[in-house]
Every structure is written in C-alpha cells, then in structure tokens.
Structure 1
Amino acid sequence: MSVRDAYDLPMSAADDAVGAGYDAYVREFLSYGSKLRALFEIADAAPQSAFLNAHAAALHLAFEGAEGWAAALPYLERMSSRRGSALAREALFCDAVAAWARRDFAAALAALDELTVRWPADLCAIKWGQYHAFNLGDQAALLRFGERARLVHEETPYAQGMIAFALEQNHRLAEAEEAGMRAVEIALDDAWAQHAVAHVYETERRPRDGARWLDHCAHTWEKKGVFIRDHNWWHAALFRLGLGRPEEALAIYDARLWGAWPEFPQEQIGAASMLWRLELRGVDVGARWKPLAAQARGRANEHLFPFHDLHYLLALARGGEPGEARAFLKSMPREGGAWSIAALAGEGMLHYARGEPTEAASCLAAAAPRLSCIGGSHAQRHLFAETMAAAAPARPARASSP
C-alpha cells in the first residue's frame, strides 16, 4: 500500500492510519505541541516500520537524560531489525538515530545533512538536524538547515521560525526579526519564532521590547509542551532582569520555571541558569537551590552534554553537599574540544561559587573564546560572561600623567 506524508514523501510499512498518526506527530513536533507522546502508540501499532520506530526513539533520546536512552531501547531494536526494508530516506533517518543512541552526535548530524540535501521537503528531518547542530554549537550547520527549509517550505507553518532562529544565532539580526514576524503571521502560535524574535531583542539589548513581545505572545503557550513553555518564560524573566526588576523575574521563576516537570533536564538547566543570574544581582533565592541540586545529583554519572553538565554543576555548587560539586567536576570527561572547554568553564564557575574571584575570572577568560562549542544559545552562554564580569569588575582608569 502506497502512503505519503503531508509533504508528499513516501512512507514504507504504513497504512493510512499510521500515515495520519505520523503527520499528527510532525505537526506537534514542529509546533512544540503537548501531544507528542501519541507517537509512541502509533509506533507500537507499527512494529514493522523502522521509520516510525526511529522517530519514537528520537523523542525519547530528546529527553536528554539517561531515562530517555533506556526508554528508547525497544524502539531502537525494532528500528534496527527493520532498517533493511526501509526506503532510502527512512534508512538515513534510522542511521541518524542509531548514531545519536551511541552518542555520536556529529554522525547523527551528518546523516541528517545528507537526508535533507536529497529530500529538502522533509521538514521534520530539517528540524532534527537543527536540534543536533544547536547541541553541537554548530551555528553554520544550524543556518544551513534553515536555508534548506526555504527551498520547499517558504510558506509552511513553523518553517520560518526555524529559519529565524538560525539567522539570529548567526548574528543576522534584522533578517531574523523579519523571518520571525513572518512566521507568526503564518502561524500565530509559532512559539519557536516568538522565541527567535525574543533572542533578537536580547542580543540588541532591548529588554522593554522583549518583555512586551513575550507578554503579547504568552497566551499561546498554555497548550504547548513543557520545554518551550518553560523556555519562553525563562526569556521573559531574563528581560525583567534587563529592566532592573529582579523581583518580577523571581516571581516568574516560582510560577513558571520550576515545578512543571522537575525531572526534565531542560527544566533543570533553565532553573539553574535563572537562580545563578538572580544571585549575581544580589537576590536572596532562599532554599530554591535544594530541590534543584537533588535533581542534578541524579545526573552525576550521565555526562551526555557538556552544556547540561555545567548547569548541574551550578546546582550542586549552590545547593549540594560540601565537596559534591568538586567531585562532579572531576568526573566530567576531558577528551574532545567541547568537554575540555566545559571543564575549564566549570572550574571558573566553581571558583566563583567558593568566593575565589581571581581564579574564576582567569578560568572563564580562558574558556570564553571557544565557549560556543559546548552548545546552547548566545543568551544562555552569556551566563558565563556575566559571571566573569562579576568576578573581575572593570578597573578604574589610571589618572593621566601631569
């Protein structure tokens, strides 16, 4: 039976119901919807489809914690056993997911790069490609995938948001704002496009415009998944800090940034980042670090992503037991450029937490030129620049000689 998806791409081992289920998943994925888990039922009903099971495995892996790797296993096994009967496009996606599962993120990115060159209509694969490019700190790849989306999807809902964020991360701010606004014209609930425009305002130091923009968009987030809802509220809190209103940022933290899904690594990252920023501004955050440190403690043996580990380190430094943060830092990998830079930045943050500003500034300054390789956005990594500035405030200029 010949089944094609919403972008007119053929699917193997699928009937009309499976095809419709896949299309629904793609809409949810691109729009950051809250019903992504429906894909697992579709994949369970189609054990013969390597492609559907690869996407189910990808969703679990995107949890970005050990639990996700464990939950992905049955889907990875089905995917592997059926890959031989998959279509060429589907097989490339399976290869990307297999590489991801063995933590070869560069190989996953390469497979998705090849897939989307050959089939640029596959907007879902383009989105997954951007996901890996972002985690690898590869801004050029992020933009390459975004430009590829334009070949087929100029007017497709949620495509312009992908383009906008890629442009912003490559410092093409005016184009990014234009693409983000166009995206919201196409799909009012394009939360990733809203997020891209917020990044433009953050980069251009326009906190008032940013706060107004996200306040205007916030009503569309309630039906979204936890990640984008938390993350856009994180940006809203960041703008309050930029406006010198940390009490409002703290209120957003309590209402929106912690507690929806404390076990979710991305919620842990956003919470750690915001609490640290609040403390840099002299805010007493009370006991808020304690539950966050308890979650970070459970990540001690994972070491999946350097960007994530740095945020777990912050939680343990501020809310953990004596010596716990130092032990975590010591356990982090050192091989590879990203991990070595993360370890250096981690040393700096730990020195700062221990009241050793000179050492903190030295380590953070050494890490700064290559910090983008750890992943995360410019706005997220600015935390390290803020800490370096706090550790080594500008010295007063010397008086001129008489």
Structure 2
Amino acid sequence: MIFFESSFPAMTGGDAGALPAYDHYCAQLLGYGPKLRDLFAAADAAPDCALLNANAACLHLAFEGREGWDHAAPYLVKAGKALVHASDHERRFCDAVAAWSRRDFPGALSRFEALAMEWPADLVAIKWGQYHAFNLGDQAALLRLGQLAIEHHAGKPYIHGLLAFALEQSHDLRGAEREARHAVEVAIDDAWAHHALAHVMETEGRVQDGVKWMAHCAHIWDAKGTFIREHNWWHTALFHLALGNEAQVFEIFDDHLWGEWPEFPQEQIGAASMLWRLELQGFDAGERWQPVADQARTRKGDHLFPFHDLHYLFALARCGRDGEIEEFIRSLENRASQCCESTSAAWQRAALPAAQGIVAFARGDKELAAEYLATAMPYLEKIGGSHAQRAIFTQTLEAARSRTGALKGSNSAG
C-alpha cells in the first residue's frame, strides 16, 4: 500500500529498499501499527539517507522522555551528515526535527506545517505537525493540517481520522463524527478514528453509545501499537467510570492501562489520570498508586510537557515525601522561568498555579487548591492534552470548591 503520491519528493541516500521501508513506516505511523520500530533497522542500514534517519530520531523523541533524546542523538548526527547530498525537502524536514530536538516545539510545528503546505504529499510531515499542534494546544494548526490531509489524500486509509480528531478538538462534533465514521468505512482498523468518535460521545454525554462503540472496536486494538491500544482502553474506562462501574474500571486498569510498559511516559500519565478520576468519584485506588509514583519519580527532571508534569506531580503528591514534592515544584519553576514567550502561558500561567493547586488538593487543603486551580483555568488549554484529558483539572477544582463552601462550577478547560 503506497501512502505517498507520485509527487512525493525523491529520497536521497540508501539502497533500493529505502523507499519501501519509508512507505512501510508511513503506514505504521498513520495506522498506529505495532511495527514502527522496523524503521530503526532501515535507518541503520542507510546511514546516508537523511529522511530515514531523521524519522528514526522522531520516533525516539516521540517517546516523550529524556531517554528518547539520548536515543535520538545518533540518528540526528547521521541525518545531519547526510544533508550534504539531500534535497531541499529533506533539508527542511531535518530542520523541523532539529528544532524538535532542541525542545523548540513551536518551531518544530511551524516548520512541519510549512513543509506540509509546500509538499502536501508528505503525510509524515502532516502527522508530526499534528502531533506538535496537539501538544501545544494549538487547535487551529491541528485543524489546518487535518484539512490539508483531506484536500490531498481523501479516501486513503487513516486520513479521515486525522481530520476527525482535529474537528472534535475544534468543537465541530457533527463534522468529527461524520469523518470518524467515514474513516472506519475506508479502514475498519483506524484506531485513531475509533478514538475521535469516543471523544465526540464523551463530550456529548453519550455514555452508553460510547461503551458499545468501544466494545465494538476493542478487538482491533490488540494488533496496534502500545500508545493507541492503551489510550483507547483509557477512553473505554472513562465511559464505565461515568456509569459508576467501579469493578469494570479497575479491571480495565489492571489489564490494559498499567504494567505493559511502565517506563513509557504515556502509560504513566494515563494510569495517574485514571486513578485520580477514580478517587474523585470516591473509589479507593489502594496500592495501585505506588508503582505509578515510583515511575513518576524518575520523570521529575524531564519537564518536556506541562501536561505530563502535572500528572507526575499528582502521583508523587499521593505517595511521595514532602521534600521531593517541593523539589519537583522548584524544578518546575526553574523550567517555567526559562520558557520563551510563546510557551509562557502554558508553563507560567497554567502549569505553576495548577501544580500548587493539585498538591494542595492531595494534601487536603481544598480552599488553597481551589484558589490556585481557578487561577490556572483560563490558560489550561495551552498545556496540551485533549479536552477529555484536561477535564481532570476542572473536576478537581469543582471537588475542591464543593468542600470549601464555594460555588460549584468553573470555566471549562476546553
């Protein structure tokens, strides 16, 4: 299955197997397949191919932990050396990846989007652009890239799911459902489209529909990569939690949300998020917090994404020692002081007060928690994560206010 058009720029470097390897990678990336790692062998066999090595670096950076930066480094070096004979397209792709490696996420987004606009045949640039738009809370860019994908690739597998999720995050729920259902008609295994429709149903309170939809799709996720498999189960658990199905949620947690790859940051924040929600509804998470907190402890110096940091911090606040919690907050403050103007809202106006708020909540000081969380709310959309994921902060604020005598309700985080 060819995922790029004949107008895709020629690839330099590598042998006759380089282009098929790249196409295989493109299909795995768009379809959340389990064989993304095949790209590493292809890149290792083609040290003079800038595009393969730059994308191998992307996969490591997308791990979203400091180890990813370490593992990406050799591929970044090889991609850089290969630029001597690279095309303009490849140079610009590598430039976007270099910005990513410098943790200049807004710069990476702008470069990927500009590249995709000039070469819309590059579905990988579109996908990585959407990745950064999502993490930056830039719904407009997320939508522009989704629309670009449809404009040039309508009818291909995994394309309509790109637009479906962007539409949902832009509050066009009817359009999102239409595109998600069309995506599944094109490719029944489009797990990102399954996910987009779950978002629509969660937003509209169609809980029973959501349970049925995810049960209908779940058998497909076993053949997918770790992230989408666990994340779709997370959404499934969210529907059961809304119905008060405590036993079902804990069963999903134990079987699908924790333990497969505990070192994976996305597994860590997904687990912390679900335990947090369970406790807000009055259910006892028991000893399940401790292994999550143990992993969060290893992340306290990463500070890659404020959304992640807040989940690590809450896990520590549930199980950690006061000294390490304060150390985490000081480190977070230092990270926020170094951010550029374009990310100041995420780190300084949202993450810092939210961090103080969730620690206060975990310690039982509901009045202080409500004060800090209310301060963060107007800016929370900028920390990344989806509307459904960020709802935990609104729910925590409401829980804090309900116990201090303040009025219930808050500004939605999205």
Work out whether the TM-score is over 0.5: yes
Opposite residue 334 of structure 1, the aligned amino acid is A
- For 2:323 and 2:361, the matched residues in 1 are separated by 15
- For 1:325 and 1:396, the matched residues in 2 are separated by 27
Structure 1 residues without counterparts, runs of 5 or longer: 398-402
User: In the alignment, which residue of structure 2 is the partner of 1:301?
Assistant: 301
User: Contact between 1:348 and 1:360, CA under 8 Å: does it hold in 2?
Assistant: yes
User: In the alignment, which residue of structure 2 is the partner of 1:400?
Assistant: none
User: In the alignment, which residue of structure 1 is the partner of 2:389?
Assistant: 380
User: In the alignment, which residue of structure 1 is the partner of 2:170?
Assistant: 170
User: Contact between 2:60 and 2:69, CA under 8 Å: does it hold in 1?
Assistant: yes
Opposite residue 359 of structure 1, the aligned amino acid is L
- For 2:345 and 2:394, the matched residues in 1 are separated by 19
Percent of aligned pairs with the same amino acid: 56
The two structures, once aligned, show a CA RMSD in angstroms of 1.4
User: In the alignment, which residue of structure 2 is the partner of 1:150?
Assistant: 150
Structure 2 residues without counterparts, runs of 5 or longer: 338-343, 408-414
For normalisation by structure 1, the TM-score amounts to 0.96
- For 2:47 and 2:172, the matched residues in 1 are separated by 44
- For 1:322 and 1:167, the matched residues in 2 are separated by 42
For normalisation by structure 2, the TM-score amounts to 0.93
User: In the alignment, which residue of structure 1 is the partner of 2:209?
Assistant: 209
Equivalent residue runs for 1:177-216 within 5 Å: 177-216=177-216
Per-residue deviation, 1:5 = 7.2
User: Contact between 2:3 and 2:27, CA under 8 Å: does it hold in 1?
Assistant: no
User: In the alignment, which residue of structure 2 is the partner of 1:288?
Assistant: 288
User: In the alignment, which residue of structure 1 is the partner of 2:5?
Assistant: 7
- For 1:168 and 1:11, the matched residues in 2 are separated by 35
Per-residue deviation, 1:15 = 3.1
User: Contact between 2:354 and 2:376, CA under 8 Å: does it hold in 1?
Assistant: yes
Opposite residue 197 of structure 2, the aligned amino acid is V
User: Contact between 1:96 and 1:108, CA under 8 Å: does it hold in 2?
Assistant: yes
Other structure's SS at 1:392 match: helix
- For 1:186 and 1:26, the matched residues in 2 are separated by 17
User: In the alignment, which residue of structure 1 is the partner of 2:362?
Assistant: 353
- For 1:208 and 1:393, the matched residues in 2 are separated by 28
User: In the alignment, which residue of structure 2 is the partner of 1:339?
Assistant: 347
Opposite residue 104 of structure 1, the aligned amino acid is D
User: Contact between 1:246 and 1:283, CA under 8 Å: does it hold in 2?
Assistant: yes
User: In the alignment, which residue of structure 2 is the partner of 1:26?
Assistant: 26
Runs of at least 4 residues off by over 4 Å: 394-397
Per-residue deviation, 1:87 = 1.3
User: Contact between 2:317 and 2:359, CA under 8 Å: does it hold in 1?
Assistant: yes
- For 1:176 and 1:268, the matched residues in 2 are separated by 28
Other structure's SS at 1:334 match: helix
Deviation track 1:77-104 (CA, whole Å, cap 9, x = no partner) reads 0111122321122111101100000100
User: Contact between 2:3 and 2:26, CA under 8 Å: does it hold in 1?
Assistant: no
Opposite residue 393 of structure 2, the aligned amino acid is F
Per-residue deviation, 1:323 = 3.0
Other structure's SS at 1:144 match: helix
- For 2:392 and 2:108, the matched residues in 1 are separated by 28
Q: In the alignment, is residue 279 of structure 1 matched against residue 287 of structure 2?
A: no
Equivalent residue runs for 1:247-286 within 5 Å: 247-286=247-286
Equivalent residue runs for 1:16-95 within 5 Å: 16-95=16-95
Other structure's SS at 2:402 match: coil
User: In the alignment, which residue of structure 2 is the partner of 1:122?
Assistant: 122
Opposite residue 388 of structure 1, the aligned amino acid is L
- For 1:241 and 1:200, the matched residues in 2 are separated by 17
User: Contact between 1:50 and 1:82, CA under 8 Å: does it hold in 2?
Assistant: yes
- For 2:13 and 2:328, the matched residues in 1 are separated by 46
User: Contact between 1:317 and 1:324, CA under 8 Å: does it hold in 2?
Assistant: no
- For 2:247 and 2:87, the matched residues in 1 are separated by 55
- For 1:309 and 1:86, the matched residues in 2 are separated by 38
